[in-house]
Amino acid sequence: MQNTRQRSHTERSSTLKAVPFFTQLTERELDVVRSVATEKQYPKNAVVLTEGEMGDSLYMIQSGKVKVFIGDQDGREMILKLLGPGDFFGEMSMIDKQPRSASVTTLEGSVFLVMSHSSFEKCIEQVPRIATIVMRILAQRVREADKKIGTLALMDVYGRVASTLLELAVVDNGKMMVSEKLSQQDLANMVGASREMVNRILKDLSDRGFISVESKSITIINRELPPSL
Ligand code: CMP
């Protein structure tokens, strides 16, 4: 039987292998990363990062789920992204040492591997091509952000709900499902609309046979979701 240390080493290894930053690294290079990351656990609904605060650590999600969002003074929020195991966040402030661009809270109990700016620099000294991998990932983030801007600017709420459902859906047992534990308010916060509006659109999509809404999931029956009413 593995002892705790071995198990934790194996878990870290598989986490790092799953994080896009590190998938292309060799075992020896991964060892360098592993040696500088520390593990942190958070309960459900914990604030991990707060928009506007200083911080210089990168978080790799070993287990759990988080939401990345920006908010205003009235408590309204726009969810930018949901992230799960193998994803990472906090890379922007780690790299440019500017305040956090968004807040991050846990949607369930989560375990992260955390790396500070100085640890990251040590990694780059020893494994210079990490810098190239980082650039690639940042380019990907900008692409996704461009897509989101396009969706918000060019589609009406109906289309935004439809495209968000398709973005979140995964194939499970041959069915295309959105099984994130998302409330209608969360969905509304992802598309920049009111909960009531999202509720009406989901009902309409369901009445027209495009989706079926169960208590904890939404099944996409016909993936040609209409972009408008
Ligand atoms: P940082 O600015 O350090 O802290 C907040 C983090 O949220 C940020 O790094 C990114 O990791 C993450 N983040 C910000 N904007 C987006 C986005 N549009 N999509 C995914 N993640 C984001």
- 160-211 pLDDT, tens digit each: 999 999 988 988 888 899 977 788 899 999 999 999 999 999 999 999 999 9
Q: Is the CB of 101 inside a 6 Å radius of any atom of ligand 1? A: yes
User: What pLDDT, on a 0 to 100 scale, did the predictor assign at position 188?
Assistant: 94
Return the axis-axis angle of helices 157-168 and 184-191, rounded to nearest 10°: 110
Asked whether 56 lines ligand 1 (CB < 6 A), one says no
- CA–centroid distance, 93 to ligand 1, in Å, is 9
The verdict on the CB of residue 134 being under 6 Å from ligand 1 is no
User: pTM (2 decimals)?
Assistant: 0.82
Q: How far apart are CA 118 and CA 221, in angstroms?
A: 49
C-alpha closest to that of 66 among 51, 52, 80: 80
Going from the C-alpha of 10 to that of each of 4, 40, 189, the distances in angstroms are: 10, 16, 37
What CA–CA distance (Å, rounded) separates 86 from 103? 19
